[in-house]
Structure 1
Protein backbone atom coordinates (compact mmCIF):
# COMPACT_ATOMS: atom_id res chain seq x y z
CA UNK A 1 0.00 0.00 0.00
CA UNK A 2 1.12 3.54 -0.60
CA UNK A 3 -0.30 7.00 0.00
CA UNK A 4 -1.79 7.16 -3.52
CA UNK A 5 -4.13 4.29 -2.63
CA UNK A 6 -5.81 6.53 -0.08
CA UNK A 7 -5.81 9.55 -2.40
CA UNK A 8 -2.78 11.31 -0.89
CA UNK A 9 0.41 12.42 -2.59
CA UNK A 10 3.41 10.42 -1.42
CA UNK A 11 5.57 13.55 -1.63
CA UNK A 12 3.04 15.54 0.41
CA UNK A 13 2.85 12.93 3.19
CA UNK A 14 6.61 12.34 3.51
CA UNK A 15 6.99 15.09 6.17
CA UNK A 16 3.98 13.61 7.99
CA UNK A 17 5.51 10.11 7.97
CA UNK A 18 8.84 11.46 9.20
CA UNK A 19 7.11 13.28 12.07
CA UNK A 20 5.00 10.22 12.88
CA UNK A 21 8.16 8.11 13.17
CA UNK A 22 9.69 10.75 15.46
CA UNK A 23 6.44 10.74 17.44
CA UNK A 24 6.59 6.94 17.65
CA UNK A 25 10.13 7.12 19.03
CA UNK A 26 9.15 9.67 21.67
CA UNK A 27 6.07 7.68 22.63
CA UNK A 28 8.12 4.52 23.19
CA UNK A 29 10.45 6.27 25.61
CA UNK A 30 7.46 7.90 27.34
CA UNK A 31 5.73 4.50 27.55
CA UNK A 32 8.73 2.88 29.20
CA UNK A 33 9.01 5.81 31.62
CA UNK A 34 5.34 5.31 32.56
CA UNK A 35 6.00 1.63 33.23
CA UNK A 36 9.03 2.48 35.35
CA UNK A 37 6.96 4.93 37.37
CA UNK A 38 4.23 2.32 37.80
CA UNK A 39 6.70 -0.31 38.99
CA UNK A 40 8.72 1.96 41.28
CA UNK A 41 6.16 4.28 42.89
CA UNK A 42 6.35 4.41 46.68
CA UNK A 43 4.89 6.53 49.44
CA UNK A 44 1.55 7.95 50.46
CA UNK A 45 0.37 8.38 46.87
CA UNK A 46 1.17 4.77 45.94
CA UNK A 47 -2.39 3.56 45.41
CA UNK A 48 -3.50 6.62 43.46
CA UNK A 49 -0.45 6.89 41.21
CA UNK A 50 0.10 3.15 40.74
CA UNK A 51 -3.36 2.91 39.18
CA UNK A 52 -2.99 6.17 37.21
CA UNK A 53 0.41 5.18 35.78
CA UNK A 54 -1.01 1.81 34.67
CA UNK A 55 -3.94 3.59 33.00
CA UNK A 56 -1.52 5.92 31.23
CA UNK A 57 0.87 3.21 30.02
CA UNK A 58 -2.03 1.09 28.79
CA UNK A 59 -3.29 4.10 26.83
CA UNK A 60 0.24 4.79 25.54
CA UNK A 61 0.58 1.20 24.34
CA UNK A 62 -2.62 1.52 22.29
CA UNK A 63 -1.50 4.91 20.96
CA UNK A 64 1.85 3.49 19.85
CA UNK A 65 0.05 0.81 17.88
CA UNK A 66 -2.21 3.36 16.18
CA UNK A 67 0.77 5.57 15.26
CA UNK A 68 2.67 2.64 13.74
CA UNK A 69 -0.40 1.50 11.82
CA UNK A 70 -0.93 5.03 10.49
CA UNK A 71 2.64 5.08 9.17
CA UNK A 72 1.89 1.78 7.42
CA UNK A 73 -1.38 3.19 6.07
CA UNK A 74 0.64 6.01 4.53
CA UNK A 75 2.79 3.40 2.77
CA UNK A 76 5.98 3.48 4.83
CA UNK A 77 7.49 1.25 7.54
CA UNK A 78 7.33 2.45 11.14
CA UNK A 79 10.49 2.46 13.22
CA UNK A 80 10.65 -0.67 15.31
CA UNK A 81 14.05 -0.75 17.01
CA UNK A 82 14.82 0.66 20.43
CA UNK A 83 18.12 1.99 19.04
CA UNK A 84 16.08 4.17 16.65
CA UNK A 85 13.71 5.28 19.42
CA UNK A 86 16.54 6.33 21.72
CA UNK A 87 18.41 8.07 18.89
CA UNK A 88 15.39 10.02 17.59
CA UNK A 89 13.50 10.78 20.78
CA UNK A 90 13.65 14.22 22.36
CA UNK A 91 12.20 12.56 25.46
CA UNK A 92 15.00 10.98 27.43
CA UNK A 93 15.10 7.90 29.61
CA UNK A 94 15.21 8.34 33.37
CA UNK A 95 15.90 6.04 36.28
CA UNK A 96 12.66 5.82 38.25
CA UNK A 97 14.15 3.67 41.03
CA UNK A 98 14.16 5.72 44.22
CA UNK A 99 12.43 8.67 42.55
CA UNK A 100 9.75 10.35 44.64
CA UNK A 101 6.15 10.48 43.50
CA UNK A 102 5.96 14.17 42.62
CA UNK A 103 9.25 14.00 40.71
CA UNK A 104 7.70 11.20 38.66
CA UNK A 105 4.64 13.35 37.97
CA UNK A 106 6.91 16.26 36.94
CA UNK A 107 8.89 14.02 34.57
CA UNK A 108 5.68 12.78 32.96
CA UNK A 109 4.35 16.33 32.63
CA UNK A 110 7.55 17.30 30.79
CA UNK A 111 7.09 14.34 28.43
CA UNK A 112 3.49 15.29 27.77
CA UNK A 113 4.44 18.87 26.98
CA UNK A 114 6.96 17.58 24.41
CA UNK A 115 4.42 15.15 22.96
CA UNK A 116 1.77 17.87 22.70
CA UNK A 117 4.20 20.13 20.82
CA UNK A 118 5.04 17.29 18.46
CA UNK A 119 1.31 16.60 18.00
CA UNK A 120 0.77 20.22 17.01
CA UNK A 121 3.64 19.94 14.50
CA UNK A 122 2.15 16.74 13.05
CA UNK A 123 -1.31 18.31 12.75
CA UNK A 124 0.16 21.29 10.91
CA UNK A 125 2.06 19.01 8.52
CA UNK A 126 -0.91 16.69 8.01
CA UNK A 127 -3.18 19.67 7.29
CA UNK A 128 -0.71 20.89 4.66
CA UNK A 129 -0.64 17.39 3.12
CA UNK A 130 -4.45 17.12 3.11
CA UNK A 131 -4.13 14.14 5.46
CA UNK A 132 -7.29 14.44 7.53
CA UNK A 133 -6.94 10.88 8.87
CA UNK A 134 -3.64 11.61 10.59
CA UNK A 135 -4.91 14.99 11.76
CA UNK A 136 -8.01 13.46 13.39
CA UNK A 137 -6.02 10.66 15.03
CA UNK A 138 -3.37 12.96 16.49
CA UNK A 139 -5.93 15.53 17.63
CA UNK A 140 -7.65 12.80 19.67
CA UNK A 141 -4.33 11.85 21.28
CA UNK A 142 -3.54 15.49 22.04
CA UNK A 143 -6.91 16.09 23.69
CA UNK A 144 -6.32 13.11 25.99
CA UNK A 145 -2.89 14.45 26.96
CA UNK A 146 -4.16 17.98 27.53
CA UNK A 147 -6.79 16.69 29.97
CA UNK A 148 -4.30 14.35 31.64
CA UNK A 149 -1.84 17.23 32.01
CA UNK A 150 -4.51 19.30 33.76
CA UNK A 151 -5.30 16.39 36.10
CA UNK A 152 -1.66 15.63 36.96
CA UNK A 153 -0.93 19.33 37.52
CA UNK A 154 -3.94 19.54 39.84
CA UNK A 155 -2.80 16.41 41.67
CA UNK A 156 0.66 17.94 42.17
CA UNK A 157 -0.80 21.28 43.33
CA UNK A 158 0.51 23.21 40.31
CA UNK A 159 -1.19 26.11 38.54
Structure 2
Protein backbone atom coordinates (compact mmCIF):
# COMPACT_ATOMS: atom_id res chain seq x y z
CA UNK A 1 0.00 0.00 0.00
CA UNK A 2 2.98 2.34 0.43
CA UNK A 3 3.59 2.68 -3.33
CA UNK A 4 0.39 4.64 -3.96
CA UNK A 5 1.01 8.36 -4.38
CA UNK A 6 -2.40 10.04 -4.73
CA UNK A 7 -2.08 12.84 -2.19
CA UNK A 8 -3.58 10.92 0.73
CA UNK A 9 -1.34 9.57 3.48
CA UNK A 10 -1.30 5.81 4.06
CA UNK A 11 -2.91 6.34 7.48
CA UNK A 12 -5.74 8.47 6.05
CA UNK A 13 -6.24 6.10 3.13
CA UNK A 14 -6.58 3.18 5.54
CA UNK A 15 -9.25 5.03 7.54
CA UNK A 16 -11.24 5.58 4.34
CA UNK A 17 -10.70 1.99 3.17
CA UNK A 18 -11.98 0.69 6.52
CA UNK A 19 -15.18 2.74 6.31
CA UNK A 20 -15.69 1.63 2.70
CA UNK A 21 -15.32 -2.01 3.80
CA UNK A 22 -18.10 -1.58 6.35
CA UNK A 23 -20.24 0.18 3.77
CA UNK A 24 -19.66 -2.64 1.30
CA UNK A 25 -20.93 -5.10 3.91
CA UNK A 26 -23.97 -2.92 4.64
CA UNK A 27 -24.86 -2.64 0.97
CA UNK A 28 -24.47 -6.38 0.44
CA UNK A 29 -26.80 -7.17 3.33
CA UNK A 30 -29.31 -4.60 2.03
CA UNK A 31 -29.02 -6.15 -1.44
CA UNK A 32 -29.71 -9.61 -0.01
CA UNK A 33 -32.65 -8.37 2.07
CA UNK A 34 -34.17 -6.55 -0.90
CA UNK A 35 -33.76 -9.61 -3.11
CA UNK A 36 -35.32 -11.78 -0.38
CA UNK A 37 -38.32 -9.43 -0.30
CA UNK A 38 -38.54 -9.57 -4.10
CA UNK A 39 -38.79 -13.36 -3.91
CA UNK A 40 -41.14 -13.54 -0.94
CA UNK A 41 -43.55 -10.63 -1.26
CA UNK A 42 -47.24 -11.60 -1.39
CA UNK A 43 -50.52 -9.74 -1.47
CA UNK A 44 -52.69 -7.65 -3.70
CA UNK A 45 -49.73 -5.52 -4.85
CA UNK A 46 -47.46 -8.48 -5.52
CA UNK A 47 -46.68 -7.65 -9.15
CA UNK A 48 -45.86 -3.98 -8.51
CA UNK A 49 -43.74 -4.70 -5.42
CA UNK A 50 -42.00 -7.66 -7.05
CA UNK A 51 -40.83 -5.36 -9.87
CA UNK A 52 -40.13 -2.46 -7.48
CA UNK A 53 -37.86 -4.58 -5.27
CA UNK A 54 -36.11 -5.97 -8.36
CA UNK A 55 -35.24 -2.48 -9.61
CA UNK A 56 -33.89 -1.65 -6.16
CA UNK A 57 -31.64 -4.67 -5.77
CA UNK A 58 -30.29 -4.18 -9.28
CA UNK A 59 -29.32 -0.60 -8.36
CA UNK A 60 -27.72 -1.77 -5.11
CA UNK A 61 -25.79 -4.44 -7.02
CA UNK A 62 -24.26 -1.73 -9.20
CA UNK A 63 -23.39 0.32 -6.10
CA UNK A 64 -21.71 -2.69 -4.49
CA UNK A 65 -19.41 -3.02 -7.49
CA UNK A 66 -18.52 0.68 -7.38
CA UNK A 67 -17.71 0.54 -3.65
CA UNK A 68 -15.48 -2.51 -4.13
CA UNK A 69 -13.72 -0.82 -7.04
CA UNK A 70 -13.21 2.33 -4.94
CA UNK A 71 -11.50 0.20 -2.28
CA UNK A 72 -9.28 -1.34 -4.96
CA UNK A 73 -8.44 2.09 -6.40
CA UNK A 74 -7.26 3.13 -2.94
CA UNK A 75 -4.88 0.17 -2.88
CA UNK A 76 -6.58 -2.53 -0.84
CA UNK A 77 -8.23 -5.86 -1.52
CA UNK A 78 -11.91 -6.13 -0.64
CA UNK A 79 -13.47 -8.42 1.90
CA UNK A 80 -15.91 -10.40 -0.18
CA UNK A 81 -17.26 -13.42 1.64
CA UNK A 82 -20.74 -13.72 3.07
CA UNK A 83 -19.26 -14.35 6.52
CA UNK A 84 -17.24 -11.12 6.31
CA UNK A 85 -20.25 -9.16 5.12
CA UNK A 86 -22.49 -10.38 7.95
CA UNK A 87 -19.74 -9.78 10.52
CA UNK A 88 -19.00 -6.22 9.36
CA UNK A 89 -22.49 -5.00 8.41
CA UNK A 90 -24.42 -2.54 10.49
CA UNK A 91 -27.59 -3.41 8.55
CA UNK A 92 -29.10 -6.53 10.07
CA UNK A 93 -30.86 -9.47 8.51
CA UNK A 94 -33.97 -11.17 9.88
CA UNK A 95 -33.47 -14.89 9.13
CA UNK A 96 -36.57 -17.03 8.96
CA UNK A 97 -38.94 -14.05 8.98
CA UNK A 98 -41.37 -13.43 6.14
CA UNK A 99 -43.01 -10.10 6.94
CA UNK A 100 -46.06 -8.58 5.31
CA UNK A 101 -45.50 -6.38 2.28
CA UNK A 102 -45.94 -3.21 4.36
CA UNK A 103 -43.45 -4.47 6.96
CA UNK A 104 -40.97 -5.31 4.19
CA UNK A 105 -41.24 -1.75 2.94
CA UNK A 106 -40.91 -0.22 6.41
CA UNK A 107 -37.87 -2.43 7.10
CA UNK A 108 -36.26 -1.18 3.90
CA UNK A 109 -37.10 2.44 4.74
CA UNK A 110 -35.34 2.00 8.10
CA UNK A 111 -32.30 0.42 6.43
CA UNK A 112 -31.99 3.13 3.80
CA UNK A 113 -32.41 5.86 6.41
CA UNK A 114 -29.76 4.17 8.57
CA UNK A 115 -27.39 4.11 5.61
CA UNK A 116 -28.10 7.77 4.85
CA UNK A 117 -27.03 8.70 8.38
CA UNK A 118 -23.92 6.51 8.13
CA UNK A 119 -23.03 8.04 4.76
CA UNK A 120 -23.41 11.61 6.09
CA UNK A 121 -20.85 10.83 8.80
CA UNK A 122 -18.60 8.97 6.34
CA UNK A 123 -18.52 11.95 3.96
CA UNK A 124 -17.20 14.11 6.81
CA UNK A 125 -14.62 11.46 7.71
CA UNK A 126 -13.43 11.34 4.10
CA UNK A 127 -13.12 15.12 3.96
CA UNK A 128 -11.18 15.14 7.25
CA UNK A 129 -8.82 12.54 5.77
CA UNK A 130 -8.14 14.50 2.57
CA UNK A 131 -10.12 12.18 0.27
CA UNK A 132 -12.41 14.42 -1.76
CA UNK A 133 -12.95 11.68 -4.36
CA UNK A 134 -14.46 9.23 -1.90
CA UNK A 135 -16.42 12.03 -0.20
CA UNK A 136 -17.95 12.92 -3.58
CA UNK A 137 -18.66 9.28 -4.38
CA UNK A 138 -20.37 8.77 -1.01
CA UNK A 139 -22.41 11.94 -1.43
CA UNK A 140 -23.81 10.55 -4.68
CA UNK A 141 -24.53 7.22 -3.01
CA UNK A 142 -26.29 9.00 -0.14
CA UNK A 143 -28.49 10.85 -2.64
CA UNK A 144 -29.49 7.51 -4.21
CA UNK A 145 -30.48 6.15 -0.79
CA UNK A 146 -32.44 9.34 -0.05
CA UNK A 147 -34.42 8.89 -3.27
CA UNK A 148 -35.04 5.20 -2.59
CA UNK A 149 -36.19 5.94 0.97
CA UNK A 150 -38.58 8.59 -0.36
CA UNK A 151 -39.99 6.15 -2.93
CA UNK A 152 -40.46 3.45 -0.28
CA UNK A 153 -42.13 5.90 2.14
CA UNK A 154 -44.45 6.98 -0.70
CA UNK A 155 -45.61 3.39 -1.19
CA UNK A 156 -46.57 3.22 2.50
CA UNK A 157 -48.70 6.37 2.38
CA UNK A 158 -52.42 5.71 2.37
- TM-score relative to the length of structure 2: 0.92
CA deviation after TM superposition for structure 1 residue 24, in Å = 0.6
After TM superposition, the runs of 4+ consecutive aligned structure 1 residues lying more than 3 A away are 1-4, 95-98
Structure 1: state its 5+ residue gaps: none
Distance 1:131 1:38 in 2: 36
Residues matched between the structures, number: 158
**Corresponding residue number in structure 2 for 1:153:** 153
Structure 2: state its 5+ residue gaps: none
Distance 1:21 1:121 in 2: 15
CA deviation after TM superposition for structure 1 residue 125, in Å = 1.1
CA deviation after TM superposition for structure 1 residue 144, in Å = 1.1
CA distance 1:68–1:2, shift in 2 (3 Å): farther
- TM-score relative to the length of structure 1: 0.92
| 1:150 alignment partner, SS class | helix
Distance 2:58 2:17 in 1: 24
1:1-159 mapped onto 2 (5 Å cutoff) = 4-95=4-95, 98-157=98-157
Distance 2:31 2:134 in 1: 21
CA deviation after TM superposition for structure 1 residue 93, in Å = 1.2
Distance 1:152 1:45 in 2: 14
